[in-house]
Every structure is written in C-alpha cells, then in structure tokens.
Chain A
C-alpha cells in the first residue's frame, strides 16, 4: 500500500513536471518564432548577432563609417552613402537597430501550415501570350484560389522564394496613401506626389473573411488595386485600376481615368514598363514587384547576412530639399536571399534584376535593376515596417521606399501613410464602372 501511494505520488509529480515542461515554451515563448516560418538566426548564430549588436545597435552609419558595414549592404547603397553630395545632401545616414523576428498573423501561419505540405509545381508547362510557363513553374491550385500562406516556407530555389513573395497579401484588404517626391538631385528640383490607393486580394486570403478566397470570382481575379493621383496638380483626378488574374494566360487589365480627357483608357503591358508619373519606378516595380510570378525566370544565388529595414518607424525617415534618398532608416541584421531575375520578354526594359528577399517575410527590401546595355540602372531601398490590422494581427508591409536612378542621379523617396489593413472593402470599387462614376 505504501509503495503504491509512493508510486502514484511519484507518477503525479512526474506528470506535473512533464506538463510544465511542455507548457513552458508556450508560456515563455508565445511571441517567439513559429517553426513553420523559421527565424533568421537561432542558437549560436543569434548569439553572434547579439554580440555584434553590442557595438553597432544604436549607431548612426554614414559616409564616415559605412565602409565598416559595407559587406552587409548592397553595393549601390554603399556607393550612395559614400557620395552624399551626388544625391543632394551632405550626409546620408541610417541607424542600426537590434534584430527582431518578424511576426506573422495567426491566419497566415495557419494557412501556411495547411497548404505548404501540399504545395506542388505543375509538371506540365503551357503557352501564354507573353511567353511560356515551363514545367515545374506554375503553382498547382493557384488559379482556383486553393493556395494561401507561404507555399514553400523553407524554399530551395529562386522560383519557390518568388512564390513566397507573391503569397504576401498584407491583410488581404488594405488602403494606403503614397506621399513622395520626384527629385532631380542635380538641380534640387522636386515634384510632389500624393496618391491614395486601395488593394484587395480575391485569392490567397488569410486574415480578413472570407478566407481563403472570395467565392464569387467568375473572372479569376487574383488581386486588384486602385490609385488616385491628387498631386502633381496637372494629374489631379487621374485614377488607375489594375486587375491581375490567377491565370497567367491573361494579361493584367489596367485602366486609367484621365481627368483631362474625361475618358477611361486601357493600358497595354508595354505601358507597364514605363515609369509612373516621372518617377523612377515603373508599374512593374510597384510594391517591389507587381506582375505575375511566371513572367520571370529565377536563379537563387546565395544567402547573405545583411542589414535591412524590417521594423521601420515611418516617422523616422527624413530628408532635406533636393535629397534623392531617405536618411533615418532603421536597419537590422537578417538573412537575405539573393535571386537573379530575368523577364522572359527579351525586349523588357531590364536586362536583369537582383532581388534581395528577406528570409522571414519573403518581401524585398532591396532590388537592383540593369538596363538593356548592362548598366546598373535602378536601385530600390524598401523600408519594411511592422503594423497591425484592425483585428490587432501583425502585418509586415512597406512603410517607405526609395527608387534611385543610378545613371542619371535622381531619386524618389516615398512613404506609405494612412495605412489600414484588414478593412472592409467592396469589390465594386475595383471596377471600370466605379472609376467612371467617380470621375468627372
């Protein structure tokens, strides 16, 4: 009897300890990385980063000390910081901040857990008006809206990383306003831009009901976005509507309401290669890349330890008049995956691009583009930040970005403000009839 009691007491204690041990990670690490989206650094690597941060976190990096961290930055950025006068200022600087894991919303993580095990690329290729989608390029189920979350949380190829990038839906429904300048650094002339817009995803939805897709979608829309030009003043009232389809055989439908002509005009895809309103970004460069994933070929080059903006406070971005690039970025160490990207259209304006993909969010904090003559033409420095949607779920999104023309020395520092995520939006506002009605 006594031994039985002892045994049961012993068993109960063991059970209790086991339960505590199991619960401990949940209690202590509820804000810690999810295994399905592994963090950039763990274990000894994380310790090394923390050690490095003891010297650098809080430090201001400018032309005087950028050489010491040049291995953590893209070459074009290092060069710009060494020659700030070319970019309209006496000093270009950023601040080093400690590394933090990028949180994802519960819905996004659940979608990733559910869909990634079954994510496969279609072994059959097919033709499209703009070229061919080869075997093992197209994500099965994408056209039916059956994929959501990261399809490849631990990707091995550039294409898989690109599909991860495409899966970011930033709260599914969002609105944002672009405030920016188009700066000629040689002359100091600036042209102000103010462009509010809305974005909505029909498929791949993870946070805002209906999840994972809007059922009533006969046209097979993947996502749609609108943009209204308030400034510059001569473009006032111009509205853009872009509709992208899940089927890569269908080109994007892009419409512009031109207030001056009071007409709705369709845009061809060549126009998507043109820059927007004199800036250094084309429609294709919107959000770092705006286009169907299968339009490009991808080659994974390497993974690097770099400094990038991932928890940027938009209010910290500063510039003086005539400055073509933000100062005040908050960059932290992270793992960046370098992918060489080539458009399948040989006459495309970029001969190649280099995407720097963040290993946790699969967003693009840096991008380099080469022109048809093989010269480095444009550099993109994107400031990713941490926001919350209306339900309090974390969202990593672009809070600012800076495209620069490395050849002609001008830049477009922009900020995304008045951002709201996970809001209610009516699909009606992404229709031609709507922009016709609200035009004058």
Chain B
C-alpha cells in the first residue's frame, strides 16, 4: 500500500477510534433560529469501501484495496415562512457536497479513470450533479398542499428493489441498495407536486406531479471506480466510458424544453371494511432514465471506438461521435399501486406490496443469440471483414416496444425470541422477507435486457433480512440476503452504532455472488467488500 494511503488510513482510523472514547458530548441538536422558525441540521461523514479481493488482472490498476473514500457534508434547513390558521408555508432545502478521495490518493486508480469522468465522479461538479439535492417551497392550506421545487418522491413500499417507485432515477456511482436506502440514492427532480385531501367516501388523498422538462439519466459508476465495470471485462479499455459520455450527451437537455415533461397521478386511501389496509393507485408518464441505441449509429460508434483505440492508438476522448444522437431516451408509462396491511389475526405482521405495469418500454434488439451470455448491444464482435457493418451481422438491429409487469411483496414481523431477549435487553427481532418478480411480455431472445440472462423472460429475486438492536438501540445489527434466480445475489452484515447524540459509526461487509458466466462478466462478483462509515450529525 502506498505511503500516502497508509497515512490517510491511520489518520482516519484514529479519527474513528478517538471519538468512541471522547465523543459522547451532549449538545443541542438542530440549531433553531428566528424564534424556532428556522431549523438547521446537518452531518459530515466519511465512508470507505475496502475490497477484500482484487482479481489479478485488475490489481495493476490499484495501489491499495480501498475502493471508495467518499466524504460528504450534508446540510438541511427548514424555514417556516408563514403559520396562520390553516395556512402554513415552509421552505425546505437539502444541500450535499461530497469529495471522493481515493481516485486522487491511489495513483493507479487515478490513471485508470479517464480524467473528465474522474473529475465528475469526485465532486458534484456539473449541472447534473448540483449540490442542492432538494429545495422546495411547501404550501399547505386546508385540504390543499402544494410543493414546488426540487424534490424526492417515494411511491413504493418495498426496499431493495423498486417496482412502483419510479419517479426519481438513482445514482449508483457510490452505493447500492442492500446497504444504502433508496432515498440516499435518489436524484432530486424539479417538479410541481400537489396534494388534495378529499372528503368523499374513504377520504382518498389525490396527488399529482408535473416535472417540466427536468430529465435525469441513471447514474452508473464510471469505468475504473469501485462499482464500475472492471478494467479487464468486456466493457473495458474505455468502451464503457465512451458509452457513458454518449448517454450523457444524448440525454434530454434539462429544463430546456417543455416537451421533456413527465407527469403522474396517485390516489391514496384506506380500506376499513374487510381489512384495515392502506392502498395507492398511480400512473406515471415518464421519459425512461436509461436509453436505447439507434441501431446503425450505435454500431458505427463502436466501430469508431475500435478504430481509434486499436488501430490509431488514440485515447477514449479522441473518439468522435459519429452522429448528433446515438442513443434515445424514449417515453414510457407506468400504471401501478401499493398496499400496506397489518394482518392482526393470524400472521400478526405487516404485509406490503407494490405492482406496476410498464407500458411501452423500449428495448434494443440484436442478433447475438444462441449463446447463453449477456452482452451489450454494442460489442465489436459483429464487424465484417470489410470493416463495415452488415445489418445481418450487426449487433444492434432495432428498437422495439414491449410491456413489462412486476410486483414486489414484503412481509414484516417482529418476534420476541426468548433466547435472543436474554442478551439484548428483551428487544424484538425484526424479520423481513421480500419477493420480487417481473416479466417482459412478448419477450424474445433478441431483446437486450440488462441484469438477466439472455432468454430470461422473467426475473425473480427473494430477500430475507433479520435485524435487532442492543444496548438500548445504541447498536443495531442487520443481516440481509438476496438471491436472484438468474444467478446473482449478495449477503450484507451491518453494524450501526450510535452511542450519544452526535457520533455515528457503521461497519459492515457485503459479499456478492454470481453463478453464471454472464453475471460474472457484468462485473459485480468480484466486489466483495468491507465498508466503514464515520459520521457526525447535529
């Protein structure tokens, strides 16, 4: 391990240990100003990922096993502007600034991540990643509630996978579901959100969302970073970097055109007659956060990449775009709903479910069928001898529309297990079991679908989580296991320690596994890791 990294590691280790002994100070949390009309709170935290194993070929691109070293300052403000009768107006803002340090400290990693992508990865340095994650004005009057500004919306009921929670795209560059909640991964969108509480039978709550042209693409981790494709896989040598740059360039320009609007409607209510259950129904008209390839152009772009890299010895930034637009973000629609029901007679637990039908989901098609591997729609293997693309041999052959349907079901139960209660001060054990399934209707082998094997029309994932706490909720221990029948999964063991008012410690491990060749080539199987978080919040 390089000296610099060792020094930083020692400093941070001491920073972790010393507050354990001296960090138990009591102080006011949430600063209140202006007669408690302005509440300020925040946190600073340092999050590390330490990979347990780096494969031989990838070793050359790392000076150490530290995969991520993310330092974040988080600041929240809630200002009550007006509170008179039934009129309340609040201003809410959340600012988050971060610096990812390992891509500077680790020289090999520094070189492995292309410069432009590295800068964008390290800090929120361009418009798409502005530090203001949420900022909105919240007006409540009588039955009406209007929120205008940048917001994060939660429409789902389950965790680990999203089925009906479709409004905000995710930023997966620094973290993954499994050890981070979705709300920490979501990207805020500028929107107008209205709620109306009706007085009709059942008193449903009606919610509408209008997003006037603020489209955000999914953030995938860059090549060479911890969660990115490995530097030795299919998507290596800058190919994935080039694709990401194209995705970004081709994304609808944010807030520049009203035709990039998205809108949604949600109704929430309660059934009291048969079972005391909370339900929602929703509709969302969206622009997909992940694009599909325009066939000829995608093939030509890949050819241009290999011409530049393999034949001319250039870098990825020297690869020119063959057309203005290589990828397209298509419109799609979601119809779905959720249910939450406390079954008090037999199961004595809470059942949560969500379902969604995605109408008009666009997929790229290719002709690389017959092999049981997942490949992206842009590999170089379809090149003809003559050096140009023949449509019968090219990999991206077209774009089709399909429907897909899915559901997620979750069951939560707290049990009092006498054996455990002897040691953890009679605290309960939370058991959460979830199952997720989705199907692509009118599936065919030529469809390019990520995160599943070729020919897999359906995907099924199951998870189990066990959680309890100790020392009066100062220490929380969680185990989460997820298995996907297409051959992947993970186990996460997490310890979160909160001894006093401010300091928070988190340590855990995540083991990922893949049983099929395609899932191993997709680059996650070798990401087993330990992670640490040191946080101070106020």
A residues adjacent to B (C-beta < 8 A): 129, 182, 184, 187-192, 219, 230-234, 236, 251, 253, 260-271, 273-275, 277-280, 321, 347, 349, 371-373, 377, 405, 407-408, 410, 432-433, 436-438, 440
- A436 neighbours in B (Cβ, 8 Å): 195, 205, 268
- Cβ A266 vs Cβ B350 within 8 A: yes
* B206 vs chain A, min Cβ distance (A): 11
* A435 vs chain B, min Cβ distance (A): 12
- Cβ B472 vs Cβ A184 within 8 A: yes
* B199 vs chain A, min Cβ distance (A): 11
- Cβ A189 vs Cβ B500 within 8 A: yes
Is B449's beta carbon under 8 Å from chain A? no
- Cβ B500 vs Cβ A191 within 8 A: yes
Give chain B interface residues in 54-95, CB to chain A under 8 Å: 78, 92
- Cβ A372 vs Cβ B418 within 8 A: yes
In the bound complex, what is the Cα–Cα distance between A10 and B486 (angstroms)?
A: 109
- A267 neighbours in B (Cβ, 8 Å): 342, 350
Say which residue of A260, A265, A275 sits within 8 Å of B350 (CB atoms). Answer: A265
Is B421's beta carbon under 8 Å from chain A? yes
Give chain B interface residues in 27-64, CB to chain A under 8 Å: 29-30, 41
Q: A236-B30, A280-B472, A373-B422 are in contact. List 10 more A-B contacts (CB 8 A).
A: A233-B30, A234-B504, A261-B159, A268-B350, A268-B414, A269-B344, A270-B413, A274-B427, A377-B426, A433-B197
- Cβ B138 vs Cβ A440 within 8 A: yes
Contact of A234 with B537 at beta-carbon distance under 8 Å, contacts A270-B348, A436-B205 already known: yes
In the bound complex, what is the Cα–Cα distance between A320 and B30 (angstroms)?
A: 23
Is B257's beta carbon under 8 Å from chain A? no
- Cβ A263 vs Cβ B157 within 8 A: yes
- Cβ A437 vs Cβ B140 within 8 A: yes
Is B123's beta carbon under 8 Å from chain A? no
- Cβ B145 vs Cβ A230 within 8 A: no
Give chain B interface residues in 344-372, CB to chain A under 8 Å: 344-345, 348-350
* B137 vs chain A, min Cβ distance (A): 12
* A421 vs chain B, min Cβ distance (A): 22
Chain B residue nearest to A440 in the complex (CB): B92
- A266 neighbours in B (Cβ, 8 Å): 278, 340-342, 350
Contact of A189 with B24 at beta-carbon distance under 8 Å, contacts A261-B181, A264-B278 already known: yes
Chain B residue nearest to A262 in the complex (CB): B154
Chain B residue nearest to A321 in the complex (CB): B26
For this complex, 9 residue pairs linking A to B, each with C-beta atoms less than 8 Å apart, are A129-B344, A184-B471, A189-B499, A233-B537, A236-B30, A262-B183, A268-B413, A274-B414, A274-B427
- Cβ A438 vs Cβ B140 within 8 A: yes
The 3 closest A-B pairs by CB, nearest first: A278-B473, A233-B29, A278-B472
Chain B residue nearest to A182 in the complex (CB): B472
Chain B residue nearest to A193 in the complex (CB): B501
Say which residue of A277, A278, A433, A437 sits within 8 Å of B203 (CB atoms). Answer: A433
Is B17's beta carbon under 8 Å from chain A? no
Say which residue of B29, B421, B504 sits within 8 Å of A231 (CB atoms). Answer: B29
- Cβ A236 vs Cβ B29 within 8 A: yes
- B24 neighbours in A (Cβ, 8 Å): 187-190
- B350 neighbours in A (Cβ, 8 Å): 265-268
Is B493's beta carbon under 8 Å from chain A? no
Is B461's beta carbon under 8 Å from chain A? no
- Cβ A275 vs Cβ B473 within 8 A: yes
In the bound complex, what is the Cα–Cα distance between A280 and B471 (angstroms)?
A: 11
Chain B residue nearest to A372 in the complex (CB): B418
Contact of A275 with B415 at beta-carbon distance under 8 Å, contacts A261-B183, A438-B140 already known: no
- Cβ B344 vs Cβ A251 within 8 A: yes
In the bound complex, what is the Cα–Cα distance between A275 and B537 (angstroms)?
A: 23
Is B502's beta carbon under 8 Å from chain A? yes
* B83 vs chain A, min Cβ distance (A): 12
- B30 neighbours in A (Cβ, 8 Å): 230-231, 233, 236
Contact of A233 with B472 at beta-carbon distance under 8 Å, contacts A192-B26, A268-B350 already known: no
- B504 neighbours in A (Cβ, 8 Å): 234
Chain A residue nearest to B474 in the complex (CB): A278
- B197 neighbours in A (Cβ, 8 Å): 433, 437
Is B428's beta carbon under 8 Å from chain A? yes
- Cβ B348 vs Cβ A268 within 8 A: yes
Chain B positions 197 through 212: 1 when the CB is less than 8 Å from some CB of chain A, otherwise 0: 1000001010000000
Say which residue of B416, B473, B474 sits within 8 Å of A270 (CB atoms). Answer: B416
In the bound complex, what is the Cα–Cα distance between A189 and B19 (angstroms)?
A: 13
- B278 neighbours in A (Cβ, 8 Å): 264, 266, 432
Say which residue of A188, A236, A268, A440 sits within 8 Å of B41 (CB atoms). Answer: A236
* B329 vs chain A, min Cβ distance (A): 26
In the bound complex, what is the Cα–Cα distance between A266 and B427 (angstroms)?
A: 19
- A410 neighbours in B (Cβ, 8 Å): 472
- Cβ A268 vs Cβ B349 within 8 A: yes
Contact of A274 with B428 at beta-carbon distance under 8 Å, contacts A189-B24, A253-B276, A262-B183 already known: yes
* A302 vs chain B, min Cβ distance (A): 29
- B41 neighbours in A (Cβ, 8 Å): 233, 236
- A372 neighbours in B (Cβ, 8 Å): 418, 421, 426
- B138 neighbours in A (Cβ, 8 Å): 440
Is B328's beta carbon under 8 Å from chain A? no
- Centre residue among B24, B152, B413 by max chain A CB count within 10 A: B24
* B503 vs chain A, min Cβ distance (A): 11
- Cβ B473 vs Cβ A273 within 8 A: no
- B140 neighbours in A (Cβ, 8 Å): 437-438
- Cβ A270 vs Cβ B428 within 8 A: yes
- B415 neighbours in A (Cβ, 8 Å): 270
In the bound complex, what is the Cα–Cα distance between A261 and B154 (angstroms)?
A: 8
- Cβ A260 vs Cβ B416 within 8 A: no
Chain B positions 409 through 436: 1 when the CB is less than 8 Å from some CB of chain A, otherwise 0: 0001111101001100111100000000
- Cβ A219 vs Cβ B272 within 8 A: yes
In the bound complex, what is the Cα–Cα distance between A270 and B349 (angstroms)?
A: 8
In the bound complex, what is the Cα–Cα distance between A371 and B427 (angstroms)?
A: 12
- A279 neighbours in B (Cβ, 8 Å): 472
Is B373's beta carbon under 8 Å from chain A? no
- A260 neighbours in B (Cβ, 8 Å): 181, 183
In the bound complex, what is the Cα–Cα distance between A163 and B187 (angstroms)?
A: 53
- B469 neighbours in A (Cβ, 8 Å): 278
- A231 neighbours in B (Cβ, 8 Å): 29-30, 501
* A185 vs chain B, min Cβ distance (A): 12
- Cβ A268 vs Cβ B26 within 8 A: no
- B205 neighbours in A (Cβ, 8 Å): 433, 436
In the bound complex, what is the Cα–Cα distance between A219 and B202 (angstroms)?
A: 12
In the bound complex, what is the Cα–Cα distance between A324 and B221 (angstroms)?
A: 49
* B470 vs chain A, min Cβ distance (A): 10
In the bound complex, what is the Cα–Cα distance between A277 and B159 (angstroms)?
A: 22
- Cβ B344 vs Cβ A268 within 8 A: yes
In the bound complex, what is the Cα–Cα distance between A275 and B472 (angstroms)?
A: 8
Is B246's beta carbon under 8 Å from chain A? no
Is B498's beta carbon under 8 Å from chain A? yes
- Centre residue among A191, A230, A261, A269 by max chain B CB count within 10 A: A191
